[in-house]
Amino acid sequence: MTLCFSHYLSISERTVQAGGENDCHLPGAGRFVICPLVRPQEVTDDNLRTKLQKIADATHVEGAREAVEEAREALSLMGSFSFVRSLPHRDELLGAALQFYTEGRTLTALNQFKEGLETFGLVDLLRIHHEALEGVFRDTFEPLLASQLEATFQPSNLSEPGSNRRKEARTVGFWRDWLIEVEDGDTSLTLGAVLAFATGLDRIPAVGFPTQPLLEFLHEDGPALFPTANTCSLVLRLPV
């Protein structure tokens, strides 16, 4: 389910003040939203986002009509297609499409989500601290960094001081250097793919992993050629 941050507190009110400031309105449905209203950039479907953004960027009626015609099929499925009479009418059409995409498809699920939050008294806290909690509900699209992956996996089960311990320390150094190479684009892999190999997720969750991801080492009679992972226990094992 796509959860738009601007709509995650849907309730049946015409207007409501967000953070004690300006009232926010949605055309037609009058649902509670957190300012500002949802924008085309928040649509996760790349093709639809591009079409809606083109409609929003139109500076004259003719351009808006052309953009709406290009998005006819998607807008028709959302019940938002119509002939653009003016730029204000374009804004209403765009608002209706965005409302359907972010709220109309998921209204029942969002109401259930809100009821669950009310059980613990979290709805009021989300209203007050919505900016601080935005990263929990909305994808930030920020790329992973090598330093983040390095900090995510904690070396574990280290050998006693000696030759094996020195090999493990050297392997950690190789691991750090390789992550930097991946970040710089020197390989065909991405940091998200590396994280997914070890955890099943290509991004670090906003609230963190349920358990500490660990970095362990493979000591075998013969040389281990490839790393292994256990995505259930969040363990990445590197050959030494």
Residue 18 has a pLDDT of 35
How many CB atoms within 10 Å of residue 2?
12
Burial class (CB in 10 A: 0-12, 13-18, 19+), 104: middle
- Distance between CA 124 and CA 135 in Å, rounded? 17
The strand pairing partners of 177, in sequence order, are none
pLDDT, residue 89, reads 93
Whole-prediction pTM? 0.51
pLDDT, tens digit (0-9, with 9 covering 90-100), for 179-216? 999 999 998 999 999 999 999 999 898 888 999 999 99
Q: Which residues of 149-159 are buried (b: 16+ CB within 10 A; e: fewer)?
A: beebbeeeeee
Number of residues that make up the chain: 240
Quick count: other Cβ atoms within 10 Å of Cβ 64?
24
Structural domains in the chain, CATH included, are 5-137 (no CATH), 146-239 (3.30.2410.10)
pLDDT for the residue numbered 40: 85
- Which positions of the chain have pLDDT values less than 70? 1-37, 139-141, 221-224
pLDDT at site 43: 84
Phi, psi at residue 228, to the nearest 5°? Answer: -130, 165
Between CA 24 and CA 36 the distance in angstroms is: 8
